[in-house]
Amino acid sequence: MIDDEMYDLIVIGAGASGLFSAISAKNNGAEKVLILEKTDKAGQKLLLTGDGRCNLSNQEFDLSSYNFYAQIYHKENTAFLDTAFHSFDPDKTLAFFNDMGLMVSYRNGYIYPTSYQSRTVLQVLLREAESLGIVIEYNSNVRNIEHIEDSTDYQVITQRFKYKSHCVILASGGSSFPKTGSSGDGYYYAKKLGHTIIKPLPALTGFILEDAIVERLSGIRMMAKVSYRNHSQKVFFNTGEIQFNKYGISGIPVMNISGNIIRDMDENKEQTAVCQLNFFPYWDEDILSRQIALNMADFIEKRPFCLLEELLYGYCNEKLVELILQSKDFDPKMRLCDFLNRREDKTKESILQHYSNELERLCDAFLRFDLKLIGYQDFKTCQVTSGGICLDEIEPETMESKLNDGLYFAGEIVDVDGACGGYNLQWAWTSSYLAGRAAAIKLRHSN
C-alpha cells in the first residue's frame, strides 16, 4: 500500500538516536516527521543501558585532545569526531535534556539521570516526541530506501507500506543485542545507496577462555592492566577491574579493548589471541621485586616451611597465584626453605642479589601474565558494534551522506564506537542532534 502523504522527514528506528534526531528536527523547524520502528516498542536497547540506569554521557569528555579520541573512540583520524563533538558537545546535550525536563547526577565522571533509571530517559524522549507531534509507527520493518525517480526525494518501503519523504535519517542501530531490534538492517540499505560499510564486528564484549582456566578462575575479580599487541605491533591497553566469569573474562578494561582485539583477529583470520595482564599496574618492577624479597626474608625466619603460593596469597587471589606461578614454571607447592636453599645468608639484600633471576621471573609472572583468548562473545551479547558506515562518506557537521542528498545517519550505524562510560550514548545524542538539525535546515531552504 502507498501512503500518499509526503513527509518532511522519515527517521528509521525509534532507539536513542531515532528519537533524539526526530526531536532535534522538529525543534529546528521540520514539520511532518515520521519515525518507523521495526518492533512494537521504542528504545528497547536504551532501557538496558548502564544496567538499567542509563549512563548517558561522561564528565571527562576532553574535546581538545587527540589522545581522547584515539583512546575513547579508537580513531586515528580525529578530525571527524572533533568537528561533530564541537558542533554539539556534552554540555549542549545536557542542556537539551534539561529543557525536556531531565535532570542528571554524576558518579565518578559517569552521568546518569537523577532517577538512576533508563526508563526515565525513554519517557522524557517519548513525551517530548509526542508533544511535538512526531508520529511513531511501530511494527514497521523498513525493507528498502530508494530514490524517487527524477527527484531528490526518497521512498521508504516497509513490509506493508511505501512512504515518501524529502529527507531520511537512518538511525537503525548496529548489530549488537539483536533482540532489541537492531540487527544490522541499515548497513544493507546504506550499501545499496552506494555507501561503504566497514565490517561490523562486536565490541565492548568479553572473551572465552579455555575450560580448564574457566573452572579454576570463575568468580575472581581483580584490578589489572590488560594489554594487547596487534599484528602491526600497536599496543592497546586499559586498566580497571577484570572479572573471570562462567565463560571467560570480562570487565571494563577487557571490554574497552575488545573491539581492537576482535578486529585484529578478524583481519588476520585468527581464532585465538593472547592478551597480557599486569596485576600490579601501579607498581614499579623494582619495588615489587624488593617487596617479594622482603617477605621472603621475613617468612624464612618465621615460617620456613610455608609454600611458595602461601607466601604470595597476600598478593592476589589464591587460585590466581597458583596459575601465575605455574605460568613461569614455578612449583606453587615448593617450600620456601627449598626455594632459598642455595645460600646460608637469607637477608633481604642477599635474596635480592643471589636470587635475582628468580625474582625477575616472579615479577614477570605478576606483571606480564599471558592469557590465551579462544573466542569472543558475539553480537548477541556485546554492547556495541565497531565498524559501520564509513566516515569518509559523511559530513561531520551535518551527518549528511556525501553520496545522497537528504540522507543522514545517526548513532551506532556509523563507524564510531566508544569505550564504556556513556561515550556511545553521547555519540548517539551528538550525531542525532546534528542530523535532525541539518535535515530541518535543508527543508527550510528547499521550501
The residue ranges that bind ligand FAD (CB under 6 A) are 12-18, 36-39, 44-46, 48-50, 55, 140-142, 171-173, 176-177, 180-182, 185, 383-384, 411-412, 422-425, 428
How far is Cα 190 from Cα 73, in angstroms, rounded to an integer? Answer: 22
Choice between 173 and 406, CB closer to ligand FAD: 173
Choice between 320 and 425, CB closer to ligand FAD: 425
What's the closest the beta carbon of residue 431 comes to ligand FAD, in angstroms? Answer: 8
What's the closest the beta carbon of residue 37 comes to ligand FAD, in angstroms? Answer: 5
Q: What is the CA radius of gyration of the chain?
A: 27
User: How far from the centroid of its chain's Cα atoms is residue 401's Cα?
Assistant: 24
Choice between 109 and 304, CB closer to ligand FAD: 109
Choice between 366 and 423, CB closer to ligand FAD: 423
Closest CA to 50 of 104, 125, 124, 117: 117
How far is Cα 384 from Cα 174, in angstroms, rounded to an integer? Answer: 7
Q: What is the three-state SS of 192-256?
A: HCCCCEEEEEEECCCEECCHHHHHHHCCCEEEEEEEEECCCCCEEEEEEEEEECCCEEECHHHHH
What's the closest the beta carbon of residue 342 comes to ligand FAD, in angstroms? Answer: 54
What's the closest the beta carbon of residue 83 comes to ligand FAD, in angstroms? Answer: 19
Choice between 236 and 429, CB closer to ligand FAD: 429
Choice between 134 and 340, CB closer to ligand FAD: 134
Angle, helices 356-367 vs 285-302, to 10°: value is 120
| Burial zone of 52 (CB within 10 Å; 0-12 exposed, 13-18 middle, 19+ buried) | exposed
Choice between 140 and 260, CB closer to ligand FAD: 140
Choice between 358 and 417, CB closer to ligand FAD: 417
What's the closest the beta carbon of residue 213 comes to ligand FAD, in angstroms? Answer: 25
Choice between 177 and 236, CB closer to ligand FAD: 177
What φ, ψ does residue 155 adopt, rounded to 5°?
-115, 125
How far is Cα 441 from Cα 87, in angstroms, rounded to an integer? Answer: 15
| Burial zone of 310 (CB within 10 Å; 0-12 exposed, 13-18 middle, 19+ buried) | middle
What's the closest the beta carbon of residue 433 comes to ligand FAD, in angstroms? Answer: 13
What's the closest the beta carbon of residue 14 comes to ligand FAD, in angstroms? Answer: 5
Provide the 10 A C-beta neighbour count for residue 231.
10
Provide the 10 A C-beta neighbour count for residue 417.
27
Choice between 204 and 292, CB closer to ligand FAD: 204
| Burial zone of 223 (CB within 10 Å; 0-12 exposed, 13-18 middle, 19+ buried) | middle
What's the closest the beta carbon of residue 226 comes to ligand FAD, in angstroms? Answer: 20
Q: Helix or strand or coil: residue 398?
A: coil
Provide the 10 A C-beta neighbour count for residue 6.
12
What's the closest the beta carbon of residue 89 comes to ligand FAD, in angstroms? Answer: 15
What's the closest the beta carbon of residue 417 comes to ligand FAD, in angstroms? Answer: 8
Closest CA to 142 of 21, 26, 11, 20: 11
